[in-house]
Structure 1
């Protein structure tokens, strides 16, 4: 299942940035000196993580196409387009965030601390807020469409709506200059991805039951 493959590469990318690095991956608003030191100490880890995150973005685009196709088959064409657009934007954010790890590790960029800090912040915005905010229409509209088509139980459909609102609400983390609300990004991301995993399992079982009746 594509969502399982996605999680494999996504978690691998996060693992290289945390468990296998010499220290915790610097936040976007950390001191420039800390970011430069981390990049110098973890060049290979950063590049491998970038590859894993880039692949996870491509796989998520694949999953988004499947998810939108399921909705499209119910006759809800507009909902299918909205969910696919949201999923595609999330996938693009992951892909670009991963690719930019190579840019951040270029010696000429590390030598220019302000440039490195800017690239580091861009990777965070693409892989964090862009991914999570784009997940909002994906899970909310998808939840409503699949619930209306009787492909999801009511509680799971409404959970998608609530998580969509939470994911959309993570945009407020862009307001404080000091980044005090960045915790909203991982909260919205992991809860939404957990919902998508559960939903994918439910849809797969529903499809198998339908095939067994024919």
Structure 2
């Protein structure tokens, strides 16, 4: 009987996924240089040697892109909050974020849906959390390189429900509100006063109050703030 060959734990393991034939350019944005080196080695091993993974230069908290466009920029989202989104997720002279594929990694799992929604609004293609398993991270990177999005089921379900409610609200507004009432409601949401609405619509302030009473009753709100929130969600 021939001896059984036990592979050494130091032997190179096969990649989790078969690499594509194309050569992708992947950029890493993080101040953690040690982490960057590990990610570079891991992505190169898992995606194939033809893919190029390099660090993206950062100056004044803005990305400095030295080539016309990366196939994917992976941005370290550790500690990133809503207030920093518009500052740190600025591409400087890089292409528009809609064209430049970007994804966040190292994101706190408890960051909240408000942050995740803002990320999606910034046209970020995906989010990878701190507790993301390695195989899912590689699978997600590969999916984004294929032109897909990579978000959790919780986020996508929330967005789909919001779209559903928004469409329902628009349909309800079309059915319930007159053209004049919709005009006044939108003006209220923009911060206009009763007197300015009256002047703009060539009606009396008392008529504006009557319209507001009818509007509030139809959409189920009690004051200007609730009406503004209703407009933000449904119109």
Q: Which has the higher contact order (CA 8 A, sep 6+)?
A: 1
Larger Rg, first or second structure (1 or 2) = 2
Q: Could you say which structure has the higher helix fraction?
A: 1
Higher strand share: 2
Q: What TM-score range do you get, normalising by the shorter chain?
A: under 0.3
* TM-score, length basis structure 1: 0.26
- When the two structures are superposed, what TM-score results if normalisation uses the length of structure 2? 0.25
